Amino acid sequence: METQDQRPAKLHKLDKVGVSNLKTLVETRYKGRMYRFIPSIDLTIDLSGERKGIHMSRLVEAIAESIEETITAKTQEENASLEHLGKKVLAGLSQRHPFLKGQISFKADLVVKKKTPATRKNTFENHEIMVQVLYFRGGFRKKLSCEVYGNTVCPHSMQHTGKPHIQRAKATLTIETDYEREIDLEDMVDCVEESFSSPVYTLLKTEDEAWVVNRMHENPLFVEDVCRNIISGAQRFSDSRIKVKVVSEESIHRHDVVAEAESST
């Protein structure tokens, strides 16, 4: 009998056992566009109290096999997003290894093309995203997350001195919903970007910089305001559980200020 299948010394059930920080190449196709990611993957399953260990290499095989099938599947017209890949891995793994609960997450960089606000030049903006698929009792759910940069412009300082302090801020929007509910990561990014005092850009010519600075000063917001704006904006993603965290990297302090909220739509 393999070591993993033996009875363990202590009979506690474990909630999550698996691999973490596994990086590999993934190619996907979503709405006709090709993407190439090198995501950091976590894949875990539960383990009954009767077995000493899981068979780790089967998790890695399930990932490898699904990635290869996804690449082949791309030649047909079907979608093959990170979500599809995640579901396929969990379904494939269930053929190799017993489990009641399983989850896989992909953390990756997503580059989005935009136009600069005044001179309308092309600019490319990178966001960290996370796609997670969860299996439990025959059903699939998913969590989608994006971390987006922007800024806050202090209205309290505006009121007292006529002048603001301004700083970079970072917001994370996480949506949990049914696997079938279609939500674009790009729409989530838009929802967050429009919630700051101003969106930020990698490329800014002098007129673009002026546009951003003017918008900042016309739109002073606390970290609390940004958090509420995101919750409001996320109402468009109906039937979801929404989680928002905003961190403002204060220019007048060496610590950060934060605002967090959860909500349902």
Applying CB under 8 A, the span of 75-83, 88-96, 174-182, 251-259 interacting with its own copies comes to 251-259
Q: Cβ closer to its own copies: 144 or 153? A: 153
- Which residues in 72-101 contact its own copies (CB under 8 A)? none
Among 103, 229, 237, 240, which residue interacts with its own copies (rule: CB under 8 A)? 229
Torsion (CA) 41, 241, 226, 182 in degrees, nearest 10: 70
144 lies in the site for its own copies, by CB under 8 A: no
Q: Cβ closer to its own copies: 182 or 210? A: 210
Are 222 and 205 in contact by the 8 Å Cβ rule? The answer is no
206 lies in the site for its own copies, by CB under 8 A: yes
Residue 26 burial (10 A CB sphere; 0-12, 13-18, 19+): buried
224 lies in the site for its own copies, by CB under 8 A: yes
How many residues lie near its own copies (CB under 8 A)? Answer: 96
Give buried/exposed letters for 192-228 (b at 16+ CB in 10 A, else e): bbebbbbbebeebeeebeebbeebbeeebbbbebbbb
Strands across the sheet containing 166-178: 40-47, 101-115, 122-136, 139-153, 166-178, 241-248
Q: At what angle do helices 223-233 and 185-193 cross, to 10 degrees?
A: 140
Q: Cβ closer to its own copies: 163 or 178? A: 163
Applying CB under 8 A, the span of 136-144, 172-180, 183-191, 252-260 interacting with its own copies comes to 252-260
Among 7, 13, 96, 101, which residue interacts with its own copies (rule: CB under 8 A)? 13
64 lies in the site for its own copies, by CB under 8 A: yes
Among 214, 236, 238, 239, which residue interacts with its own copies (rule: CB under 8 A)? 214
Applying CB under 8 A, the span of 75-83, 98-106, 137-145, 228-236 interacting with its own copies comes to 228-236
What are 156's two structure tokens? 């309290």
CB of 54 to its own copies, least distance (A): 7
Among 69, 73, 258, 265, which residue interacts with its own copies (rule: CB under 8 A)? 258
> What letter does residue 4 receive in the DSSP assignment?
G
Q: Beta 122-136 vs 101-115: how paired, if at all?
A: antiparallel
- Which residues in 167-196 contact its own copies (CB under 8 A)? 167-168
